[in-house]
Homo-oligomer: A and B are copies of this chain.
């Protein structure tokens, strides 16, 4: 691996600062986490977007959330075909090995992946249709969601699709036999959230209302 470069020095300085303060003040906790292993209460499936920090929103410290982040917080349907499926592996590990009590899918506003999916499905982003487009093929997971929102007013459609991405992920989660069993046995609950980055709002899906409701 000859291509690896040294870390920029401002990050090295910040790391040393962290070690001299946050780490140093909490050494006992970090050591215990290392020795006793992690026992997170919840798994969070969130977007890679740099603007969404679930640990900040929920004041979560090291050890609290097992966090998977991918483009547009999507979970594909259960497909045990012997190929590698990174997201499915995180769900399996969280439920089977860590036995988390909650899986939270957290969508968000201004999502670039969702916008891409919208444009691809509307025919204005042909490059995402290419077989070689990883983003396009990943966003295929959300195609059934696009079908459900295509008659929504154009101004509101992307936002509606962001929320569908959460619902599609929850639905796909339930296709995993070990998730379904754990939910039915009351050993696991699943939750759908959507946050507005600019307004700091948080909404959760309410099955009784059939829509997302502000918290």
Contacts and interface: CB of A to CB of B under 8 A. Distances in A.
A20 B34 CA distance: 25
| Copies of this protein, total | 4
Contacts of A22: 9, 13, 17, 56
A66 interface: yes
A24 B128 CA distance: 34
- Chain A interface mostly helix, strand, loop or mixed? mixed
Interface of A: 1-41, 43, 48-53, 55-71, 74, 76, 80-94, 97, 99-102, 104, 109-110, 112-113, 131-135, 137-141, 167, 170-171, 174, 182-183, 186-193, 196-200, 202, 204-207, 215
5 contacts: A6-B204, A6-B206, A14-B58, A17-B21, A28-B188
